[in-house]
């Protein structure tokens, strides 16, 4: 399978293809989205144990954990950052699309997100070191 992605997501638990798909339909470009994801990823490592206790569901695939959380919890998480509305929306869309993909590919997982839920993905190999 050929990877035609033009953006590098490095060690993020999010694929470049997801970032580029979301970037096609939003104002911030893929590079700006990746920059925000890098900043957010560091904070997510600190929230890992909270997600474990409070998420509506989660799955683990290849060292990445995807959680379903409420929109209010997502808003609380992003309150720590100074992302403008369009960038915050793009970051939410990227996390939710990646999480949906992981839920969908996990046998036996409930991949239905409620309208008030969003996805969050965290690299658990790194998170569990903390």
Indicate the number of domains in the chain. Answer: 1
Written as one string, the DSSP assignment of 3-24 is ----S--TT-SS-HHHHHHHHT
pTM exceeds 0.85, yes or no: yes
Domain around 85: 16-127
2 is a domain residue: no
72 is a domain residue: yes
1 is a domain residue: no
What is the mean pLDDT of each successive set of 10 residues along the chain, which is 130 residues long? 70 95 93 96 83 87 92 91 95 96 89 91 65
pLDDT attached to residue 56: 82
86 is a domain residue: yes
Residue partners of 86: CB distance under 8 A and separation at least 6 = 26, 27, 28
State the Rg of the chain over Cα: 14
């Amino acid at each position: 399978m050929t990877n035609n992605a033009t953006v590098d997501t490095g060690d993020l638990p999010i694929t470049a293809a997801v970032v580029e798909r979301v970037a096609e339909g939003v104002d911030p470009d893929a590079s700006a989205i990746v920059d925000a994801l890098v900043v957010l990823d560091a904070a997510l490592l600190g929230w890992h144990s909270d997600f474990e206790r409070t998420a509506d569901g989660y799955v683990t695939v290849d060292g990445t954990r995807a959680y379903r959380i409420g929109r209010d919890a997502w808003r609380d998480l992003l309150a720590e950052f100074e992302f403008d509305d369009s960038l915050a929306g793009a970051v939410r869309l990227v996390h939710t699309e990646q999480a949906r993909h992981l839920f969908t590919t996990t046998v036996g997982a409930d991949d239905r997100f409620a309208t008030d839920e969003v996805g969050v993905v965290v690299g658990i190999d790194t998170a569990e070191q903390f």
